Amino acid sequence: MASKKVEDVLFPGIGVRVKGVSDSSGSLVVEAVSTARPGRCPTCRKQARRVHSRHQSALDERPLGSRRIIIRLQVRRYFCDRRSCSSPSFVEQVPGLSTRYRRSSIGLAGWLG
């Protein structure tokens, strides 16, 4: 168990890589990067291939004991390459992240402990 990677504890089966866990004013900040495969354009369903940009989204999770947990997740914006599509770009979704994360809060406690 000690050699288990933090990704496997926090986000089992989800395409994210954890860069670090830090303490910020009593909150636990989990820095993560999406490694999910490119998704499809939500408008026209075309498979995305080109990354437009990256940005950070913050997911505020329920507390672990008395501490808040904040996930800073770096997600990608993709171009939609279909010329007729009305969405030139879109932000990826990481399937299952928040629900799976909630389930594994105990895992986080164990990993930190």
Q: Cβ of residue 83: shortest distance to Zn ion, in angstroms?
A: 9
Q: Tokens 């329920």 correspond to what residue?
A: 62
- For 100, the token pair is 């799976």
Closest to Zn ion by CB, 43 vs 56, is 43
Closest to Zn ion by CB, 21 vs 85, is 85
Closest to Zn ion by CB, 36 vs 85, is 85
Q: Cβ of residue 89: shortest distance to Zn ion, in angstroms?
A: 9
Residues in contact with Zn ion by CB under 5 A are 41, 43-44, 46, 80, 82, 85, 87
- For 101, the token pair is 């994360």
Q: Tokens 């050699």 correspond to what residue?
A: 3
Nearest to 72 by CA among 89, 94, 50, 41: 94
